């Protein structure tokens, strides 16, 4: 209880400082972006982050958040906007790093929109060293929303909800150039569950003569060429080559190839 209130109070009484914290985002493919932080030469560790993350309007929306921690420990994993302390006899419910859209500074934001407010803080015990000075806060998933190609992501401090606050109660500015995320969707066959195992014809997780003709016609081609077909491109790297041949050969005449292929890939592949 007291530790949770400390974080909330730090957001309210923070005072300005001259230091900076770097926030970066990295496109990891599959329309997933990793949000990292780095703290250098600051007088204290970061106690709490309040970040405004947005993607170009009418280009993409944010659909999911994952790979974040929760609870106490040496990580940033307490979420001031969504902590539930209603039952003092039970452990707190940490909730989600995404601030509710009903909170000040987070209006009209959230999953399903082009903007989220991320809140993450630390509640480590005195005998622990606290969160490291660099690491990953979370990963965000995006979905195409009408545009093509890539969308730009902008990250700024959300000062209404405290911005970035150090352990000593001072606020710091952040440095972030944002990043671009490729939201171009791949061909439909890259969603077939057996395509990565040679099922280039999409005939119910079996690799037979239909797949042979599909592979034969595309063999030796690459993206942009007249004969390129992404469906026999089992490794989804932009060409149908010897690597794809070995995948096809090993599965040929198999009637129950695994149905575990991931959906999508980098598109365009080059």
184-194 pLDDT, tens digit each? 778 889 989 99
The CATH number covering residue 110 comes to 2.60.40.680
What is the distance between the alpha carbons of residues 88 and 238, in angstroms, rounded to a whole number? 56
Same domain membership, residue 193 and residue 177: no
What is the distance between the alpha carbons of residues 258 and 165, in angstroms, rounded to a whole number? 49
Query: Which pairing describes strands 134-144 and 179-182: parallel, antiparallel, or unpaired?
Result: unpaired
Q: Does a structural domain hold residue 263?
A: no
The answer, yes or no, to whether the previous bond of 114 is cis (omega within 30 of 0) is no
Q: What is the mean pLDDT of residues 141-154?
A: 86
What is the distance between the alpha carbons of residues 81 and 116, in angstroms, rounded to a whole number? 12
Least confident residue range of 38-42, 91-95, 214-218: 91-95
Specify the residue for token string 């599959």. 30
Same domain membership, residue 206 and residue 146: no
CA contacts within 13 A on the Cβ side of 158: 25
Q: Is the pLDDT of residue 171 over 70?
A: yes
Closest-CA residue to 31 (of 191, 184, 196, 192): 184
pLDDT of residue 91: 82
Same domain membership, residue 219 and residue 126: no
Least confident residue range of 90-99, 145-154, 208-217: 145-154
Least confident residue range of 86-90, 99-103, 176-180, 195-199: 86-90
Domain boundaries, position 115: 2-182
Q: Does a structural domain hold residue 105?
A: yes
Q: Does a structural domain hold residue 269?
A: no
Q: What is the mean pLDDT of residues 56-80?
A: 91
pLDDT of residue 5: 37
Same domain membership, residue 162 and residue 203: no
Q: Is the pLDDT of residue 179 over 90?
A: yes
Percent of the chain with pLDDT over 70: 92
3-state secondary structure 184-237: CCCCHHHHCCCHHHCCCCCCCCCCCHHHHHHHHHHCCCECCCCCCCCCCCCCCC
Mean per-residue pLDDT over the chain, rounded: 88
Same domain membership, residue 31 and residue 107: yes
The structure's pTM equals: 0.70
Comparing 86 with 225, the larger pLDDT belongs to 225
Same domain membership, residue 194 and residue 110: no
pLDDT of residue 18: 54
Count of the separate structural domains present in the chain: 2
What is the distance between the alpha carbons of residues 176 and 157, in angstroms, rounded to a whole number? 10
Of the candidates 143, 159, 182, which is a domain's last residue? Answer: 182
Same domain membership, residue 111 and residue 232: no
Q: Does a structural domain hold residue 257?
A: no
Same domain membership, residue 247 and residue 199: yes
Of the candidates 166, 182, 198, which is a domain's last residue? Answer: 182
Q: Is the pLDDT of residue 17 over 80?
A: no
The CATH number covering residue 206 comes to 1.10.1330.10
């Amino acid at each position: 209880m007291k530790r949770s209130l400390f974080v909330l109070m730090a957001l309210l009484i923070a005072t300005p400082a001259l230091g900076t914290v770097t926030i970066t985002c990295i496109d990891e493919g599959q329309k997933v972006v990793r949000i990292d932080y780095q703290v250098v030469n600051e007088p204290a560790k970061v106690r709490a982050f309040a970040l405004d993350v947005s993607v170009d309007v009418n280009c993409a929306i944010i659909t999911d958040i994952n790979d974040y921690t929760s609870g106490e420990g040496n990580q940033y994993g307490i979420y001031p906007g969504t902590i539930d302390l209603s039952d003092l006899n039970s452990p707190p419910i940490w909730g989600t790093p995404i601030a509710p859209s009903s909170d000040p500074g987070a209006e009209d934001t959230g999953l399903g929109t082009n903007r989220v407010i991320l809140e993450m803080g630390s509640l480590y015990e005195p005998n622990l060293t606290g969160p490291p000075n660099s690491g990953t806060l979370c990963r965000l998933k995006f979905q195409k929303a009408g545009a093509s190609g890539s969308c730009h992501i902008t990250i700024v401090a959300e000062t209404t909800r405290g911005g970035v606050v150090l352990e000593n109660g001072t606020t710091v500015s952040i440095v972030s150039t944002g990043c671009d995320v490729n939201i171009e969707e791949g061909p439909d066959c890259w969603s077939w569950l057996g395509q990565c195992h040679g099922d280039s014809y999409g005939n119910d997780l079996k690799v037979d003569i239909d797949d042979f003709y599909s592979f034969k016609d595309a063999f030796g081609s690459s993206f942009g060429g007249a004969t390129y077909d992404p469906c026999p491109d089992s490794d989804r790297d932009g060409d149908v080559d010897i690597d794809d041949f070995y995948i096809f050969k090993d599965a040929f005449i198999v009637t129950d190839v695994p149905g575990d292929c991931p959906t999508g890939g980098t598109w365009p592949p080059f």
